[in-house]
Amino acid sequence: MPALVLLGAQWGDEGKGKATDLLGGSVDYVVRYQGGNNAGHTVVVGDQKYALHLLPSGILSPGCTPVIGNGVVVDPSVLLSELSGLNERGVDTSKLLISGNAHIITPYNVTVDKVTERFLGKRKIGTTGRGIGPTYADKINRVGIRVQDLYDESILTQKVEAALDAKNQILTKLYNRRAIAADQVVEELLGYAEKIKPYVADTVLILNQALEDDKVVLFEGGQGTLLDIDHGTYPFVTSSNPTAGGACTGAGVGPTKISRVIGILKAYTTRVGSGPFPTELFDEDGEALRRIGGERGVTTGRDRRCGWFDAVIARYATRVNGLTDFFLTKLDVLTGWEEIPVCVAYEIDGKRVEELPYSQSDFHHAKPVYEMLPGWSEDISKAKSFSDLPKNAQAYVKALEEMSGAPISAIGVGPGRDETIEINSFL
Ligand code: IMP
C-alpha cells in the first residue's frame, strides 16, 4: 500500500506540479487534501504548458485518477472552467473524483476575503483573494456549505440563509458594503450542481479501498510547510494544513497508511504575500533569481519575493512533516553565480540560533548567517544523472542534503518533464 505525500517544504511554489507529474505516470490516484484555487501548479508536458489551480496535477496523466479530497475548498465556477479549459485542449477529465464533504467557496466567501484584506490595510495577509480563509472559517464555525448540499435545495437554502444572516450584518454595518441576497447565491450554486454531479463520490471509501488493493496513492499538498495554519508563520499563512498530517484529515486516510513523505525544496527560497522571510533579497541577486526562475505567481500574477536557500527552514520542514526525502527543484536557476550564499543558522538579538524559533517576534528579528558555497557556470539542464552535474553543483546539493536532514532523491534541472535527475526512486 504505497501512499506517498508530496508537499512544499518552504513557502509554496517549489515546483510541486513537476514532481507530482513526474510520478503521475506510475501512480493510480493523485489526491489534493487541502487548500483550493489559491494553489498554482505549472506543468509542462512536451511543448504544452498547463497552469492548474484547483485540479490535482495528476489530471494530466492518463491512467491516473485525480481526487479532490474532503479537506479541499472548491470554487465550483473555477472547477468548471478549469475542466472545460483542459477538455478544449484534449485532456480527458472524466476520471476526476470530488469528495461530497469538500466545502464550497461561495461568492460571499470571496467577497469577505477581499473586503477583509482591504480593511486590514498595511496589516493585510496578502491573500490570493480567492475566498480560502473565509470558507475554512465557515467550515470551523459549522456554517459552511458542502458539495453534497448542492443536491438538496431545501438544505442548501437554509444553510446559505444561516451563513448570510451574520455575514450581511458584517458586510453592511462594518464594511459598508451591500448585503448579498441568499436566493441569488442559491440559484448560482444550483446552476453548478448537475455539472459537478458526475464527479462527486465517497472518496474516503474509494481511497482506502485503493490502498487495500495495493494501488499507489499520491497525496499532493498545496502551498507549503511555512504557510501551514499550525506550523507556518502565523498569521501570514493559509487557512489549512499543507503539512503531512493534513493528508490524513484532508483525505480520510490514517497515518499508518503513509509510507513516504517527500518535501519539495527549491534550491533558493521564494514567498508571496506578507510575512517574515529572513533570507529575502532586495538587491540585483533577488531580481536575478526572480527573472531567471520566472518567479511570478501562477494564481495571482504577483512577483514572488526571492532569497537564498534557508537550511533552518528545510530542517524544520523535515521535522514537522517527518520527511523521508527531498525533491530539490530549480537547481539550474543558480547556474552562473560565482559563489552562492546558503543560510545555515540565524542570528537573533546577537545569539546564533540553529533551529526555527517558535516565537514570532524572534523569527521577525532573525538575520541569516550565511556560508558561501562555490558556484558553477556550466549548463546543467541536460544532466541525466548526479555525476553529470559539475563538481560544485554536486557539492551544493550534498551540502543542502546534509543541512536539511533528509536525502535529496531527485533534482530538477529545468522546467520540462524530462529535465529531472532521479537519484532514489520514490516508488
Ligand atoms: P490565502 O491562501 O489566499 O488565504 O493566502 C494566504 C497566504 O498564503 C498569502 O500569503 C498567499 O500569498 C499565500 N499562498 C496561498 N496559496 C499559495 C501558493 O499556492 N503558493 C504560495 N503562496 C500561497
Q: How confident is the model at residue 60 (pLDDT cuts 50, 70, 90)?
A: confident
Cell digits of residue 423: 537519484
Question: Which residue puts its alpha carbon closest to atom 8 of ligand 1?
Answer: 238
Percent of the chain residues past pLDDT 70, beyond the cut: 99
Average pLDDT over residues 140-156: 97
**Measured in angstroms, how far is the CA atom of residue 389 from the centroid of ligand 1?**
33
Q: Beta strands 41-45 and 48-52: pairing type?
A: antiparallel
Residue among 21, 41, 113, 138 flagged as catalytic: 41
Confidence of residue 342 (pLDDT cuts 50, 70, 90): very high
Using a cut of 0.85, tell me whether the model's pTM lies above it.
yes
Judge whether 41 counts as a catalytic residue. Answer: yes
Q: Where do the domains of the chain lie? A: 3-91+202-422, 103-198
Model pLDDT, residue 77: 97
Residue 369: strand pairing partners: 345
pLDDT band at 9 (very low <50, low <70, confident <90, very high): very high
3-class DSSP state of 362: helix
At 396, is the pLDDT very low, low, confident or very high (cuts 50, 70, 90)?
very high
Residues 73-111: pLDDT tens digits? 999 999 999 999 999 999 999 999 999 999 999 999 999
Q: Answer yes or no: is the C-beta of 130 below 6 A from any ligand 1 atom.
A: yes
Fold of 3-91+202-422: Adenylosuccinate Synthetase; Chain A, domain 3 (3.90.170)
Give ∠ CA 390-394-397 in degrees, rounded to 5: 140
pLDDT at 21: 63
Residue 139 designated active-site? yes
Closest CA to 404 of 333, 365, 347, 355: 355
What mean pLDDT comes out for the span 170-182?
A: 95
Tell whether 300 is in a known binding site: yes
Ligand 1 within 6 A of CB of 34? no
Domains 3-91+202-422 and 103-198 share a fold: no
Q: Please state, as a whole number, how many other Cβ atoms lie within 10 Å of the Cβ of residue 296.
A: 14
CB 80 within 8 Å of CB 196: yes
Confidence band for 427, pLDDT divided at 50, 70 and 90: confident
Residue 223 in contact with ligand 1 by CB distance below 6 A: yes
Whether the pLDDT of residue 1 is over 70: the answer is no
Would you say residue 414 has pLDDT above 90?
yes
Please give the distance, rounded to the nearest whole angstrom, from the Cα atom of residue 259 to the centre of ligand 1: 28
Ligand 1 contacts CB of residue 15 (under 6 A):
no
CA 217, CA 209: separation in Å to the nearest integer? 11
pLDDT by residue (tens digit) across 295-304? Answer: 987 777 889 9
The domain over range 103-198 is classified in CATH as 3.40.50.2300:
no
